[in-house]
A and B are shown apart, each in its own frame.
Chain A
């Protein structure tokens, strides 16, 4: 009996012992999708033909490459990452029918490790949103309760993993888009340091903030997938040429002597009491395991949302200028001239939230407002990054909630954009500073998962993985998860 939720090591073992073949895993994935995705709606499309062919190709690599955990194991890609020959839409009408001629470096590295792409998963259009309801195609549902949102923007990735449709998926995180859906769906989500993973082949939203990372069933699985995708790539000028640590080796199961920072700004007003209690219990557990809790301050944190919602839309307005109906994607019919073709194409092709952010960004960059908005936001970004750097002089990691609220029902998000933006408060500061962070499930409240966020210093994924793994091994969540899905213990 195949169960993807048992993690990558269990699948590797089953493959190596000949209990299952890559073909079996592909069929199990496709069958599970067929059974469950009419309700969950995580997948924009499956690539069953390609996946079955790949399964045959990689079969021979399974036995010979013992150190390679990912060989013969299926995965899903958020649909803002390109894969040669496979439609990539960013869940937008404007890219409908776009077949990229190239594969994102992160996906290419998974393939090199013997991974098998099963399909492309849903997101908020161009990764702009926190519920996956901004997809131009359909909304994805939370596997813990289908009336609830899976979070976003990588809601398809998180839901597909949580529902056991794939063992892992890649997401992208610009302001929390890996961590928040991982938290909402009770799975692990890791946003690496900016520049740790190549962005080549990721359709750009806000280039100074975007980062690709894994969504998995366990911290160990996140370490395994990160090891495969991290590292220098000459095709992304912002990809850092910094040595990649041994992330799996870093999982020592020990946090004795580690200093854990807790910021009052991330545990106070605006955080749902039930979330705060769950996170406080996690902090107490880490303390009981030998970590030292250190109070810290992030004095400019209250400006993070305003900063982000100027910088990200400004970058988006520039990045999304490329969608003009000339080289790819949708083109509006019956335009008399080029300018009108641009406007008609973009007006019909983009959804409301994308238009809102393009207009906001265009305004913030426009003549007369640049200094007042965009430049000021960049100056505040400096102070927010400095707050973190000062904190890391005294602590090894910072812990906080991943989301200030519990998952909410579909259609329950506010009509007021600012209210919706405020729920990114715990994740956005991390992107502004460029730091790595992981969300690991810590509790279930009223049948809905809560995530603990562990934020690390620059390029120190090893330490956040170590803390998250230690926490996970002692967390009450494993039992709650088993009660939910049955037989899926770590």
Chain B
């Protein structure tokens, strides 16, 4: 699997990462080599095999649905890079 710089750019957009031209070039090579290695999984016939999503899946227990106190608002906002009027503040979502 050869990833192009365009592929890397596309995935970076999905992952909300800005990459420099240099990073894209380097990552295209590195990710291609990892995916080449991962291609060994294509050797095996896995059609009849169930995927394993995790360990003990199906054994996890539901918690009793009881309301408990939440963290106080000031505690939640304490780590916010920017907060105003008891809310997280972010740059404009739409421009103009």
**A contact residues vs B (CB 8 Å cutoff):** 97-99, 101, 193-195, 207-208, 234, 237-238, 240-241, 300, 302-303, 305-307, 309-310, 317, 321, 324-331, 335-344, 346-347, 350, 355-356, 358-360, 362-363, 366, 372-373, 375-383, 385, 416-418, 421, 433-434
Contact = CB atoms under 8 A, between A and B. Distances in A.
A376 B53 contact: no
Contacts of B94: 337
Nearest to A194: B55
Contacts of B42: 372, 376
Given A379-B46, A418-B34, 20 more contacts: A101-B75, A234-B63, A237-B63, A240-B59, A307-B41, A329-B79, A331-B81, A335-B91, A336-B92, A337-B91, A338-B90, A341-B90, A359-B12, A360-B35, A363-B3, A366-B11, A373-B35, A380-B44, A385-B55, A417-B33
Given A359-B15, A359-B27, A362-B15, A341 B91 contact: yes
Chain B interface size, as a band, is 35 or more
Interface in B12-35: 12, 14-19, 23, 27, 30-31, 33-35
A319 B56 CA distance: 20
Contacts of A378: 51-53
The 6 lowest CB-CB distance pairs between A and B, nearest first, are: A434-B55, A378-B51, A331-B81, A328-B79, A208-B54, A194-B55
30 contacts: A195-B55, A208-B54, A238-B54, A238-B56, A238-B60, A300-B44, A303-B41, A310-B41, A327-B88, A329-B79, A335-B91, A336-B92, A336-B95, A340-B91, A347-B17, A347-B18, A355-B17, A359-B11, A359-B17, A359-B31, A360-B34, A360-B35, A363-B11, A366-B14, A373-B35, A379-B49, A379-B51, A382-B49, A382-B50, A382-B52
B80 A344 contact: no
Nearest to B51: A378
A379 B34 contact: no
B56 A356 contact: no
Interface of B: 3, 7-8, 11-12, 14-19, 23, 27, 30-31, 33-35, 37-42, 44, 46, 49-56, 59-61, 63, 71, 75-76, 78-82, 88, 90-95
Contact of A303 (B18, B44, B56): B44
Instruction: Output the residue of A193, A241, A380 with the most chain B CB within 10 A.
Output: A380
Contacts of B71: 101
B41 A306 contact: yes
A309 B41 CA distance: 12
A300, A350, A362: most-surrounded residue (chain B CB, <10 A):
A362
A427 to B, nearest CB: 16
A420 to B, nearest CB: 11
A309 B38 contact: yes
A234 B42 CA distance: 39
Given A362-B11, A380-B44, A237 B49 contact: no
Contacts of A347: 17-19
A294 B59 CA distance: 32
B92 A337 contact: yes
B15 A358 contact: yes
Contacts of A310: 38, 41
Contacts of B19: 347, 355
A347 B52 CA distance: 32
Nearest to A435: B55
A416 B31 contact: no
A325 B55 contact: no
B41 A376 contact: yes
